Every structure is written in structure tokens, then in C-alpha cells.
């Protein structure tokens, strides 16, 4: 327990003599939403978190419109208020010095947000009016969807404050050491190591595992349920940066460097994430950043970037991929990053997790959790119903990273073709950004658009080769299409069929 803030007595006094409807393991982003949704549905909930102090992380700092819409459905969107969050209106993509703006979709193209019964009440599906950085006019009345950037820890504390206000929730600080099972191998609760009390068993009809990226308990579903880590992001905080396109996320691409992401998370602070194509980071990060990243930073950001580089305060995160797996263990539901991960390039993690919670509330929120077989049946259906949106975000993240971090000629051709496809505007921007923002859950339309981009990359390559280079361009075109299929289809198969 070293380094963990001393908890108040309230966080240590959970009653182990009762059987809770639900035990929620983890109070990151997804845990509070699960606990709050169930509590508002009348369930008695115990939520366990190792440390309730505000964390300092570089994950979960940009939420796509699909995530904001999910918070509205859950009646928790005011968790983005009061933390100096920054509205995000779209993306600007740079490619070898050129740039193209990609605004978020129109609300009219998507439809109204679904309000979940018992969860949405008293206007909690709308942003608050007294916010210094988020405007009601922008979020409620503008014709386009909005995302939001924020300091992760502040957002998380808002979610935890919502949890604290729910009378049906008991909060507990402790380290979950074991998922409890009976003799039939059915989950019946969790063992928690509590300061001053030791290891205590807490029983529940359903145990929700929400312990995030580095989940200890996802293997309770299967020993093979293990993420693959193929790359990393190295992050820094830029202060008082002059953004090339205010209120936009920035994706900086080039034929000679890996992707660089830049987005504002408060009026003073901007996050920069620099891709590195290995889980093992360079031994000298400052030298690597100076040689491989600094030359490609837009001029308006150079001053703040150089200051941050001189400070040398780097943070890193592994980039993992983990297809979702069926929740087929009686008495347990694994959700969020513990269940399913994708590359963070597209910022879709919270969007997938929050939409999972929305679907979960619709499927099981009104059930009697003591009827565990019925709950399990609904969780089996839930696995298949979530595929329509999670497969889009997950596959897109891997496919785009493969293109944006291009390491061979075919991927570089696809990268160039993708950028030029965006420059065409119209549906060539509207559809891709609808997938990216998490509001277009149509995997087969994504497939159509991805291969339209691949065909356009072939066309761009033919243009470059000219009439005399037609035979070479034809061979290259076949190779480009093969590469596109190899990048895209295995992951789509894993998501939809696996």
C-alpha cells in the first residue's frame, strides 16, 4: 500500500455481512459509470478502488463525440464540467507540410441521443451552464457534434464525485487480491485487502471487473485473454502552446517519421504523444525526441515543444490490442479495457467502454441479479450486440496506425492516398470522421470506405508513374491492395467472428 493516500474512515467501513447486487472492481473511467448506472436502477453496489486519490496519467485525455453521447445516455455528461476542459470540434491532419481540416459530423446525420430510463433525470444529460471553458451553445445548440479534451485525473475525480452522491453505492479503498468462486467455479464476489482490516470476502450476485489496461483479472475469462503490445507512445506536456488549429486534435504524418498527436487538455496544457514502433523505449528518450520528432513539429508549436524537451519530463504508455471476449462465466462481467483494447491513435478507448456501459444498462439494468442464469444469458447476447460499434473503432485504430506509421513502400503509398482522399472533401471526409468519432457503428460500411481509400491510393500511384510507368504501377497497385487487405481483414475477422 506504499505511496497510496491514507483513506477516510468512510472508505474502509464496507459491510461484508451482506450480499451486494454488484461488486465493481476498479474506479477508473468505466467502473464509476457501471456503478452509478446500476445504483440508479436500484441495485446495491460495492465499488472497490485501490487508491481514491487523483491519478496522474496520459491516457484517456481526449474523448470523441461518441463518448460524450454515451455520457449523455448515462446521465453523467456533467463529469466534463468544471475541470477547464477544452471543446474539440474536429481534426487537422498534416502530411509532409500540407494539411487538411476534418470537422466532426453534423448532429442531424446521426440522430438523437438515447436517454436511459432511471439514469437520465433533472437535465443530467446536458452540460452545465456555469462552465468557464465549455459552452452550452457549442455542446447543446451547435449543428455539429463535439468531443472534449481534459486532464484525465480531474475528469476521473468528477466521475468519482458522482459515485459518492449515489445512496445505493458503498465505496471501499482496498486492493482486490482474488475473484471469489464457489465449488462450481462460479464467481461469487471478491476478496479485498483493506488497511487495518486485512483480507475480507465480499459477496455479490454479479462481479464487474473494470480494472483497466493492466487488468489482473481479465484472465478469469480465459488464460489466453492477454493483450498484444506492439508499440508505445512517448508523451510530454506543452505549456501555453500556440495550436495550429485551435480546438482541433492534430495528427502529424510524414514519409520519414512516425505519427505525432497533439491536442489541448486545459487552457494552459497541451498533450503531445509521439509514436515509437516498439514496446521497449529508446535508452535516451531526449536524444530520440530531438532527432526523430523535433524536426517535424509545426512552427507554431516549436517554442513550447523545445521548452518541454529541455525539461525532459517524459511519460510513456504501451499500445495494446485485445479483441473482446464473451462474458461466459456465471456471476462475472469483464468490461472496459480489461475486456477489449485497441490502438490509442484514434482516441477511441473511452468511447468503446462508455458505449459498452450504455448497452450493458439496457441489457441487464432492470434484471434481478439474484437470477444469475438470466443475467448470464443477457451478457452472452451483449457480446454480439456490442460488435457493431466496437469493431469499427478497434479495427480503424489498427488500420490507421499501420498506414500512419508506414514502414514499407506499400504502406507509404496507402498513407499518401489516405491524405489525398481526405483532401477531396465531401463524403471522403464525412464518412471517415464519422467512424473516427464513434458515431457510425457500421463495420461493413467501414470496410467499403477503407478499400475505397486503398483504390484511391492505387490511382494516386498510377498518376505518379504516368503512362510510361503503367506496367510498374499495375504491379505496385496489386501489391498495395494486397497490403491493404492484410492490414485490415485479420483484425475485422478477429472482432466480428473471433
| Residue-wise DSSP of 96-124 | TTEEEEEEPPBGGGT-PPPPPTTTS-TTT
Q: Output the pLDDT for position 259.
A: 97
End residue of a domain, out of 265, 293, 320: 320
287 shares a domain with 364: no
315 shares a domain with 240: yes
428 shares a domain with 412: yes
Residue closest to 344 by CA, chosen among 234, 420, 221: 234
Q: Output the pLDDT for position 2.
A: 43
3 within some domain: no
Domain range for residue 83? 62-150
Provide the number of structural domains found in the chain.
Answer: 4
2 within some domain: no
H or E segment to which residue 25 belongs: strand 19-25
Per-residue pLDDT of the chain (498 residues), as tens digits, is 345 667 788 899 999 999 999 999 999 999 999 999 999 999 999 999 999 999 988 889 999 999 999 999 999 999 999 999 999 999 999 999 999 999 999 999 998 999 999 999 999 999 999 999 999 999 999 999 999 999 999 999 999 999 999 999 999 999 999 999 999 999 999 999 999 999 999 999 999 999 999 999 999 999 999 999 999 999 999 999 999 999 999 999 999 999 999 999 999 999 999 999 999 999 999 999 999 999 999 999 999 999 999 999 999 999 999 999 999 999 999 999 999 999 999 999 999 999 999 999 999 999 999 999 999 999 999 999 999 999 999 999 999 999 999 989 999 999 999 999 999 999 999 999 999 999 999 999 999 999 999 999 999 999 999 988 999 999 999 999 999 999 999 999 988 886
205 shares a domain with 329: yes
235 shares a domain with 347: no
End residue of a domain, out of 302, 320, 338: 320
C-alpha cell at 216: 489482473
Q: How far apart are alpha carbons 73 and 65 in whole angstroms?
A: 12
Q: Output the pLDDT for position 1.
A: 38
102 within some domain: yes
Q: How far apart are alpha carbons 414 and 405 in whole angstroms?
A: 11
50 within some domain: yes
Q: Output the pLDDT for position 58.
A: 87
Indicate the Cα dihedral angle 179, 217, 209, 275, nearest 10°: 170
- Read off the CATH number of the domain in which 270 is found: 3.30.70
Q: Output the pLDDT for position 4.
A: 65
Check: CB of residue 392 under 8 Å from CB of residue 435: yes
45 shares a domain with 101: no
236 shares a domain with 123: no
* Helix residue spans in 139-183 (DSSP H): 152-164
End residue of a domain, out of 320, 352, 381: 320
Residue closest to 376 by CA, chosen among 121, 163, 143, 206: 206
H or E segment to which residue 316 belongs: strand 315-321
* Helix residue spans in 165-298 (DSSP H): 285-288
396 within some domain: no
- Read off the CATH number of the domain in which 213 is found: 3.50.50.60
316 within some domain: yes
426 shares a domain with 298: no
- In the sheet where 228-239 sits, what is the strand order? 98-103, 90-95, 248-254, 257-264, 269-276, 228-239, 315-321
Q: Output the pLDDT for position 7.
A: 77
75 shares a domain with 100: yes
Q: Output the pLDDT for position 57.
A: 86
400 within some domain: no
82 shares a domain with 111: yes
423 shares a domain with 368: no
164 shares a domain with 35: yes
Task: For residue 59, give the DSSP letter.
Answer: S
127 within some domain: yes
Amino acid at each position: 500500500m506504499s505511496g497510496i493516500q491514507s483513506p477516510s474512515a468512510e472508505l474502509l467501513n464496507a459491510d461484508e455481512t451482506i450480499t451486494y447486487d454488484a461488486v465493481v472492481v476498479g474506479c477508473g473511467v468505466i467502473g464509476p459509470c457501471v456503478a452509478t448506472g446500476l445504483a440508479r436502477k436500484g441495485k446495491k453496489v460495492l465499488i472497490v478502488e485501490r487508491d481514491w486519490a487523483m491519478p496522474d496519467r496520459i491516457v484517456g485525455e481526449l474523448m470523441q463525440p461518441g463518448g460524450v453521447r454515451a455520457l449523455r445516455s448515462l446521465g453523467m455528461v456533467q463529469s466534463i464540467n468544471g475541470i477547464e476542459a477544452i471543446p474539440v470540434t474536429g481534426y487537422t491532419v498534416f502530411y509532409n507540410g500540407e494539411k487538411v481540416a476534418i470537422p466532426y459530423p453534423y448532429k442531424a446525420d446521426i440522430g438523437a441521443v438515447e436517454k436511459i430510463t432511471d439514469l437520465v433525470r433533472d437535465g443530467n444529460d446536458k452540460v452545465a451552464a456555469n462552465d468557464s471553458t465549455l459552452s452550452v451553445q457549442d455542446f447543446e445548440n451547435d449543428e455539429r457534434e463535439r468531443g472534449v479534451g481534459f486532464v484525465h485525473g480531474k475528469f476521473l475525480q468528477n466521475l468519482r464525485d458522482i459515485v459518492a452522491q449515489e445512496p445505493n453505492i458503498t465505496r471501499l479503498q482496498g486492493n482486490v487480491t482474488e475473484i471469489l468462486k464457489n465449488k462450481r467455479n462460479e464467481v461469487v464476489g471478491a476478496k479485498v485487502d483493506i488497511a487495518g482490516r486485512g483480507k475480507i470476502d465480499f459477496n455479490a450476485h454479479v462481479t464487474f471487473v473494470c480494472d483497466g489496461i493492466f487488468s489482473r483479472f481479465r484472465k478469469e475469462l480465459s488464460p489466453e485473454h492477454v493483450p498484444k503490445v506492439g508499440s508505445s507512445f512517448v508523451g510530454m506536456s506543452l505549456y501555453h502552446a500556440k495550436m495550429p488549429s485551435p480546438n482541433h486534435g492534430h495528427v502529424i504524418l510524414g514519409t520519414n517519421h512516425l505519427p505525432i498527436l497533439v491536442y489541448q487538455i486545459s487552457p494552459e496544457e497541451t498533450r503531445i504523444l509521439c509514436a515509437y514502433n516498439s514496446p521497449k523505449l529508446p535508452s535516451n528518450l531526449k536524444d530520440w525526441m530531438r532527432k526523430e520528432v523535433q524536426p517535424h513539429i509545426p512552427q507554431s508549436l516549436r517554442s513550447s515543444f523545445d521548452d518541454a524537451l529541455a525539461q525532459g519530463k517524459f511519460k510513456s504508455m504501451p499500445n495494446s490490442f485485445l479483441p473482446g471476449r464473451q462474458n461466459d462465466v456465471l456471476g462475472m462481467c469483464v468490461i472496459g479495457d480489461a475486456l477489449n483494447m485497441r490502438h490509442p491513435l484514434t482516441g477511441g478507448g473511452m468511447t468503446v467502454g462508455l458505449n459498452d456501459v450504455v448497452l450493458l444498462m439496457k441489457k441487464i439494468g432492470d434484471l434481478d441479479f439474484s437470477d444469475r442464469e438470466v443475467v448470464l444469458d443477457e451478457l452472452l447476447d451483449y457480446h454480439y450486440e456490442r460488435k457493431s460499434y466496437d469493431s469499427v473503432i478497434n479495427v480503424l485504430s489498427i488500420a490507421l496506425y499501420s498506414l500512419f506509421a508506414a514502414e514499407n513502400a506499400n504502406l507509404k503509398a496507402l498513407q499518401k492516398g489516405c491524405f489525398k482522399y481526405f483532401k477531396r472533401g465531401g463524403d471522403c471526409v464525412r464518412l471517415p470522421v464519422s467512424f473516427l468519432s464513434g458515431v457510425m457503428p457500421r463495420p461493413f460500411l467501414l470496410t467499403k470506405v477503407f478499400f475505397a481509400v486503398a483504390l484511391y491510393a492505387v490511382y494516386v500511384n498510377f498518376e505518379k508513374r504516368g503512362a510510361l510507368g503503367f506496367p510498374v504501377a499495375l504491379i505496385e497497385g496489386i501489391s498495395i491492395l494486397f497490403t491493404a487487405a492484410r492490414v485490415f481483414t485479420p483484425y475485422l475477422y478477429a472482432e466480428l467472428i473471433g
